[in-house]
């Protein structure tokens, strides 16, 4: 879990500024649009759309924005058509990196992603080179200040969660992908709010990054990828201990 938890915590600490919030909205709008295009505009019959809407609401996205994105997906109003692409590669220190993209220009996106890997002494690999190191899971993040561990466990496990992991500032709830929506709904019914609810790629094992230079280069790679307009999510299987993280901060 370390790769996801470390990076997600870093992202949220950076996420207070308006520019980054705008990027979050852009990604959510893309996800809602593609979900509606592939599975229809009714969230009741489209779990992916239902999860995307829940994530958008968690980020306080206006209802009009959500409705407009759905209509773009169903073709009721004009909108871009995005291709979903998964890029795989190795970052500094041999860390495995997965990059989920939605793009209207494949050539532009792959060129930019390759450039970021090369610039950070990593390399973009072939399809399948690192995906086997990750497992698809439902992931729900809950702020530790909003609920006790005992209460969260009672509701989450009853709703079908596999595990709950305590991190520095959050609880991470892991679910089978097909059960994430039920667990999310169970939390909502119990009045428990969440930071994020999404299908994520969780590393099966992690690579310890202990060298400061390598760690800085790795985090810069992840940040560059996250900042790209075509990138939806970045997953990596690294672990950096708290002492080094403090130095990097």
Give the mean pLDDT of 67-94. 93
Q: Which of 74, 102, 124 is the last residue of a domain?
A: 74
First to last CA, the chain: 20
User: Residue 47 is inside which H or E element, if any?
Assistant: helix 47-58
Contact status, residue 98 vs residue 236, Cβ threshold 8 Å: yes
pLDDT at 11: 60
Three-state secondary-structure class, residue 232: strand
Cα–Cα distance between 48 and 3 in angstroms, integer?
A: 24
DSSP state of 135: E
Shared domain for 102 and 145, answered yes or no, is: no
Q: Which residue has the higher pLDDT, 120 or 81?
A: 120
pLDDT digits (tens, 9 = 90+) for 115-141: 999 999 999 999 999 999 999 999 999
CA dist list (Å): 208 to 98, 244, 249: 17, 11, 18
pLDDT at 84: 94
Q: Which residue has the higher pLDDT, 185 or 3?
A: 185
pLDDT at 58: 78
Task: Give the domain CATH number at 154.
Answer: 3.30.70.980
Region class of 137: left (phi > 0), else alpha (psi between -120 and 50), else beta = beta
Shared domain for 153 and 31, answered yes or no, is: no
Region class of 93: left (phi > 0), else alpha (psi between -120 and 50), else beta = left
pLDDT at 22: 73
Shared domain for 60 and 9, answered yes or no, is: yes
pLDDT digits (tens, 9 = 90+) for 208-245: 999 999 999 999 999 999 989 999 999 999 988 878 88
Shared domain for 191 and 226, answered yes or no, is: no
pLDDT digits (tens, 9 = 90+) for 165-183: 888 788 999 999 888 888 9
Shared domain for 215 and 239, answered yes or no, is: yes
Give the mean pLDDT of 147-167. 90
Average pLDDT, the chain: 88
In our burial notation (b when 16+ CB lie closer than 10 A, e otherwise), range 41-62 reads: bebeebbbbbbbbbbbbbeebe
* Of 180, 239, 249, the residue nearest 5 (C-alpha): 239
Determine the length of the chain.
249
Give the mean pLDDT of 53-82. 89
Cα–Cα distance between 170 and 127 in angstroms, integer?
A: 33
Shared domain for 101 and 210, answered yes or no, is: yes
Which range marks the domain in which residue 215 is found? 83-132+206-248
């Amino acid at each position: 879990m370390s790769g996801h938890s470390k990076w997600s915590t870093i992202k949220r600490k950076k996420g207070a500024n308006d520019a980054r919030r705008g990027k979050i909205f852009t990604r959510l709008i893309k996800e809602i649009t593609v979900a509606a295009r592939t599975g229809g505009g009714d969230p009741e019959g489209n779990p992916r759309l239902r999860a995307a809407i829940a994530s958008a609401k968690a980020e306080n996205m206006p209802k009009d924005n959500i409705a407009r994105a759905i209509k773009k997906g169903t073709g009721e109003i004009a909108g871009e058509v995005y291709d979903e692409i998964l890029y795989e590669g190795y970052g500094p220190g041999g860390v495995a990196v997965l990059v989920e993209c939605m793009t209207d220009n494949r050539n532009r996106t792959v060129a930019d992603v390759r450039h970021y890997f090369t610039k950070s002494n990593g390399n973009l690999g072939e399809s399948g080179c690192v995906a086997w190191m990750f497992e698809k899971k439902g992931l729900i993040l809950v702020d530790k200040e909003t609920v006790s561990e005992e209460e969260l466990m009672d509701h989450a496990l009853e709703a079908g969660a596999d595990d709950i992991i305590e991190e520095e500032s959050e609880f991470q709830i892991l679910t089978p992908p097909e059960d994430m929506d039920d667990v999310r709904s169970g939390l909502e019914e119990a009045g428990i709010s969440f930071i994020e609810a999404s299908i994520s790629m969780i590393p099966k094992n992690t690579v310890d990054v202990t060298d400061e230079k390598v760690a800085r280069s790795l985090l810069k790679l992840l940040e560059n990828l996250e900042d790209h307009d075509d990138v939806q999510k970045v997953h990596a299987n690294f672990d950096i201990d708290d002492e080094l993280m403090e130095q990097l901060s």
